[in-house]
Amino acid sequence: MKNEPSFDHRPDPELGAALRAALEPKDDHKAFAARVMAQYERALDRASVPTLDVLASWFRPGIAAAVAALILGFLFGRTVLAPEPASFDTAMAPLEGRGLADLVTSQDPPDASVVFSSLVEQR
Amino acid sequence: MGAGGGAQPPAGAARMGSSEDDKSLITKTLAGEREAFGSLVERYAPQARRVARAVLGDPDDADDAAQDGFLSALVKLAQYDTRRPFGPWLMRIVANAATDRRRRRNVRQAEPLDAALVGGGPRPDVVAMRSELSARLRTALGELPERRRTAVVLFDVEGYSHAEIAGILGIPEGTVRSEVFHARRRLRTLLADWKEQVK
C-alpha cells in the first residue's frame, strides 16, 4: 500500500481489493442478472400491445368523431337549409286553379276531378 | 495484505470484455436479441452492483439501482456511440440511477459501527477479521461525500482512468484526482489502523 500524500495516477491494488471485498454482494451475480432479465421481459410485454388493440384504439375515436360530425351536420342542415314555416292560410291555400271557396259558391255543379284534386291538396 | 478477500488486481477490471465483444452484443441487443442483452448484464453486473453500492451503501437499494441502470441503458442504447468504451457509458447511467434513488429515499446515513468493531473485542478467525475490515471500510465509505467514494471505487476497484471517471461523474479530471486523493487518505488510514490491530 502506498502512503505518499500525493496524487497517484495508478490504482492501489491493496486498497482496491479491500474495497472490492467490502462492496461485493453476498449473493450470486447470476441471480441478479436473472432478475434484470425478468424485468426486461415484463417491460417488453407491456410495450408490445397486440395490433388489433392498437387498431381498435384508433377505431373508437374515429367512430365517435363520425357520429359527432353526423349530428352536427344534421343540426346544421336543419337550422340553415330548412324553409321558413308557412302561415296557416298559406298552407291551406290551393297552389293553383280553383280553391275550395270557389267550388262551394259556384253555380255550376263541380267537376269530379276538381273535387278530387281539391281534397288531395287540402291534405 | 492478507485481508479484503484476496488481492485481485483491480486495474483493468473495468474492461469486463473486449470492446469488440461489447459492440457485437450491443448490435445484437439493438436487433432485438434478448440473449445478447442478458450477456451484457451478466458481464457488467458485478461492476454495476459495486458502483451502485458505493453510492448507496445498502446492498438491496444498490441492486435496485443497478437494475434501473441496466434497463435505462437498454432504453438509451441506440444513442450509445460504439466508438467509445461501453463500460464508462454504462457506469455513468448506473451511478446516476443510484444517485437518483438515494435522493428519492432521502439519503440513508451510514450505519453506525458495531460496538464490537469499535471496541476491538475478541479476535476471531481470519474470515471474521476480513469481514470486520469490510464493515469498517463500508462505514468509512459511507462517511465520505458521495462523489468522493464513487470516484475512489471507480478508480481503485474498477480500474477506470481519471479521464473516464471524469466522464462518468461529469466533473473535471482534476477534481477526480482530488476526490480520489482525499478518499484514499481516509481509507488508507483506516486500513493501516486495522493492520496494526491485527498484528
**Residues of B with Cβ-Cβ distance to A3 under 8 angstroms:** 188, 192
Inter-chain CB proximity A22 and B141 less than 8 Å: yes
Q: Which among A15, A25, A33 has the least Cβ separation from residue B187?
A: A15
Q: Which residue has the higher pLDDT, B74 or A109?
A: B74
pLDDT band per the 50, 70, 90 thresholds, residue A70: confident
- Position A115 scores a pLDDT of 55
CA nearest to B57, candidates B172, B125, B143: B143
DSSP B119-140: HT-----HHHHHHHHHHHHHHH
DSSP A73-117: HHHHIIIIISPPPPPHHHHHS-SSS--HHHHHH-SSPPPHHHHHH
A74-78, A106-110, B126-130, B139-143: least confidently modelled range: A106-110
Residue A106 confidence (pLDDT) above 80: no
- Position B53 scores a pLDDT of 95
% of chain A exceeding 70 in pLDDT = 47
Q: Which among A11, A24, A33 has the least Cβ separation from residue B156?
A: A11
**Residues of B with Cβ-Cβ distance to A6 under 8 angstroms:** 181
A26-35, B1-10, B131-140, B173-182: least confidently modelled range: B1-10
* A39 interface with B at CB cutoff 8 Å: yes
Inter-chain CB proximity B50 and A24 less than 8 Å: yes
Q: Degrees (nearest 5) of the Cα angle B52, B165, A23?
A: 30
Establish, for the pair of chains A and B, how many residue pairs have beta carbons separated by less than 8 Å.
Answer: 141
* A35 interface with B at CB cutoff 8 Å: yes
Residue whose C-alpha cell reads 457506469 in the numeric block: B91
What would the mean pLDDT of B76-84 be, rounded to a whole number?
92
C-alpha–C-alpha distance, residues B156 and B148, integer Å: 12
CA distance A38 to chain B (A): 10
- Position B5 scores a pLDDT of 37
Q: Average pLDDT over chain B, rounded to whole?
A: 83
What would the mean pLDDT of B65-79 be, rounded to a whole number?
95
CA nearest to B156, candidates A78, A96, A29, A16: A16
* A43 interface with B at CB cutoff 8 Å: yes
- Position A111 scores a pLDDT of 63
**Which DSSP category does A120 fall into?**
H
C-alpha–C-alpha distance, residues A29 and A11, integer Å: 25
pTM of the model: 0.65
- CA–CA distances in Å: residue A104 to residues A110, A114, A117, B46, B126: 8, 11, 14, 112, 132
Q: Degrees (nearest 5) of the Cα angle B28, B82, B162?
A: 130
**Which of A4-13, A49-58, B78-87 is predicted most confidently?**
B78-87
* A108 interface with B at CB cutoff 8 Å: no
- Position A10 scores a pLDDT of 85
CA distance B81 to chain A (A): 22
Alpha helices in B11-158 (DSSP H): 19-30, 34-56, 59-76, 86-104, 115-119, 126-143, 146-152
- The ipTM (two decimal places) reads 0.79
